[in-house]
Amino acid sequence: MTKKFPATRLRRPRSSDWSRRMIRETSISVDDLIWPLFICDGIGQEIPVHSMPGVSRLSVDKAVEAAKQAHKMGIPCIALFPSTQSERRSERGDEALNRDNLINTALSAIKAAVPDIGLLADVALDPYTIHGQDGLVENGNILNDETVGVLVQQAVVQAAAGADIIAPSDMMDGRVGAIRHELDSAGYQHVQIMAYAAKYASGFYGPFRDAVGSGGILAGDKKTYQMDPANRLEALREVELDINEGADSVMIKPGMPYLDIIRDVKEAFGVPTFAYQVSGEYAMLVAASQNGWLDQETVMAESLLAFKRAGADGILTYFAMEMASLLDR
Provide Rg for the chain, Cα atoms.
20
199 in active site: yes
SS3 297: helix
Residue 261: HSE in the Cβ half-sphere, 13 Å Cα cutoff: 30
- Which helix (DSSP H) or strand (DSSP E) does residue 276 occupy? strand 273-276
CA distance 76 to 72: 10
Q: Are strands 141-143 and 136-138 parallel, antiparallel or unpaired?
A: antiparallel
Tally: H helices and E strands in the chain: 11, 12
Q: Give bridge partners of residue 255 from the DSSP assignment.
A: none
Catalytic residue among 62, 111, 253, 266: 253
CB 317 within 8 Å of CB 298: no
Amino acid present at 278 = V
3 in active site: no
DSSP letter string, 109-131: HHHHH-TTSEEEEEE-STTTBSS
Catalytic residue among 111, 199, 222, 266: 199
Helices (H), 114-174: 144-161
**Catalytic residue numbers, as ranges:** 199, 253
